[in-house]
Amino acid sequence: MTVLAKIKFGTDGWRAVIARDYTFTNLERVAQAYADYLLTQRASPLVVVGYDRRFLSQEFAARAAEVLAGNSLRVSLFDEAVPTPLISWAVKQLKADGGVVITASHNPANFNGFKIKAPWGGSAAPETTAAVEKLVDANPPRRATIPPDTHEVLGPVLASYRTQIASYIDLDRLRSSAATVIVDPMHGAGGDWVESFLTGGQLIVETIRSNRDPLFGGVNPEPIDSNLGALKQRVIETRALVGLATDGDADRVGAVDEHGETMTMHAVVPLILLHLVRNRQMSGDVVRTFSQSVLLKRIAAAHNLKLHETAIGFKYIADLMLNDDILIGAEESGGIGVKDHIPERDGILNSLLFLEAVITAGKPPSEMLRELHQEFGEFYFGRRDLHVETAHGQELIERLGNATPKEFAGYPVTGVEGLDGTKLLFDDESWILFRQSGTEPMLRIYSEATSVAKSNALLAAGEDLAVARASSP
């Protein structure tokens, strides 16, 4: 008997374990609710539907499209797996009323998901997903056959996306560089996209793990240190200038320096910001999410740029990008949005933009980071992900916020913030943040500190506290 799962949208979309809650039956319920929502906005809406390389993503996308068509919506369905930012671009270019991406992004291989894209190409606002949730089971799913040529309208969109990238990035300069670059899409939808923009010149580009593997080689398709062993090794073997990675649906970016060391977004994003301001002479406000770096605040202040801080989730950044003059908005997990592009994360564009920053600097990434620290101060970031039931994680977060300790890991606590989770502050601007994931039963502990030793000490104390609390009666 099919179990009707409770549908709950998290930080970016509804996600669930395939064959447990993520079934064709439950997918149809969500697609019907989204169709019902769009029909409250206007008659005969147009929706773009795309998908990643996960298990059954193509079939799930086809089923979602059938439900949308069954409600007399016009549907444009991609006929191959493509990066999520390309689907977002298509929504905006076609002036569609919305979009659906079948993806679980960076989640483990046994997950899949249903992301909703707003008409401007970014992630749907919380108000939209809340409205869709309320409409689940309001009507039984209705299905109709999708015409075989529904993808043809998307051909020009792919061409316009390539034109946009070519106009945004100085590709000639990159191609003419005498360097080696390794690209790692982690078996995800990024495929050969980054490499395709860089061939034809002196630059040597090699893409690893570009083939489709629904198991992602046995790691989660998230471009963080623990998952980038293959990229780090290949960078060292080839003496590459830099390694670039994208996550499962290619909206996030990761990087490895010339020594094969993973660079956190607390290094990559500040370096991109400096490149935009100093080399490109661009201006605008800066947005950081609650787990992003102190360095962004210091760089913004040094260049008289207004700084915004939001809860974690790119939809909050996108909302500001729609209404303010935002130069860059970034989250710790690798999602970056930049001015004069779509108000959305784009791992393809940002991989190329970071490479442009490195080649323009004329020095390797580790040296760029040393100079950044010399000018703005040394800060080092770390993160621990703990499989903790949501209720236990939330209880810990609330307890730390309501009964804040006077010291933590031996360091005096000077303040507490609760914008998204609970963040403990220290006198040198170091911090530790406890936050329950919005997409899976995971307690994330983040820390940024003035030394690697201090960051590790804070994380270790945070993990000990969380484990002890979760195991207590």
pLDDT for residue 151 is more than 90:
no
- Mean pLDDT is lowest, of 13-27, 140-154, 219-233, for 140-154
Instruction: Check whether 1 has a pLDDT greater than 60.
Output: no
Assign 3-state DSSP to the chain and report helix, strand, coil percentages, each to 5. Answer: 40, 20, 40
Report how far residue 313's alpha carbon sits from residue 332's, in angstroms, rounded to the nearest whole number.
Answer: 10
Residue 399's domain comprises: 380-471
Whether residues 329 and 353 share a domain: the answer is: yes
Which CATH number covers residue 176? 3.40.120.10
Q: Which of 136, 160, 184 is the last residue of a domain?
A: 160
Q: Where are the alpha helices (DSSP H) in 151-307?
A: 155-168, 171-175, 193-196, 229-238, 265-274, 294-302
* Whether residues 270 and 121 fall in one domain: no
| Residue 413 shares a structural domain with residue 326 | no
What pLDDT, in 10s, does the model give residues 227-240? 999 999 999 999 99
294-302 and 265-274 helices, crossing angle to 10°: 10
Domain assignment of residue 306, yes or no: yes
pLDDT for res 104: 95
Q: Would you say residue 404 lies in a domain?
A: yes
**Residue position matching structure tokens 């495929």:** 191
pLDDT in tens, 333-347: 899 999 999 999 999
Domain at 421, CATH number? 3.30.310.50
257 and 269 in a single domain? The answer is: yes
| Structure confidence at residue 147 (pLDDT) | 87
Would residue 5 count as lying in a domain?
A: no
CB environment 314-342: b (16+ within 10 A), e (fewer): bbbbbbbbeeeebbbbbbbbbbbbbbebb
| Residues 204 and 345 both lie in one domain | yes
Average pLDDT over the chain, rounded to whole? 95
Do 319 and 174 belong to one domain? yes
- Rounded to an integer, the average pLDDT of 185-191 is 98
pLDDT at residue 469, as a whole number: 65
Q: Is residue 384 part of a domain?
A: yes
Write down which residue in 350, 376, 402 finishes a domain: 376
406-425 residue pLDDT tens: 999 999 999 999 999 999 99
CA nearest to 240, candidates 86, 355, 108, 92: 355
Q: 354 and 217: one domain? A: yes
Structural element, H or E, at residue 99: strand 98-102
Does 181 map to a domain? yes
Average the pLDDT over 264-272 and give the result: 96
**Mean pLDDT within 192-198:** 98
- Using the predicted structure, report yes or no on whether residue 109 has a pLDDT greater than 90: yes
In this structure, how many other beta carbons lie within 10 angstroms of the beta carbon of residue 95?
Answer: 8
Question: Does residue 35 share a domain with residue 181?
Answer: no
pLDDT value of residue 10: 82
- Written as one string, the DSSP assignment of 393-442 is HHHHHHHHHHS--SEETTEE--EEE-SSSEEEE-TTS-EEEEEE-SSSS-
The single-letter DSSP state of residue 135 is: H
CA distances from 109 to 25, 65, 106 (A): 20, 23, 9
The pTM for the full model equals 0.94
The pLDDT, as a whole number, for residue 442 is 87
Per-residue pLDDT at 198 = 98
What is the domain count for the chain?
Answer: 3
Mean of pLDDT values over 342-366 = 97
Give me the residues paired with residue 417 across strands.
423
- Give the residue from 123, 142, 160 where a domain finishes: 160
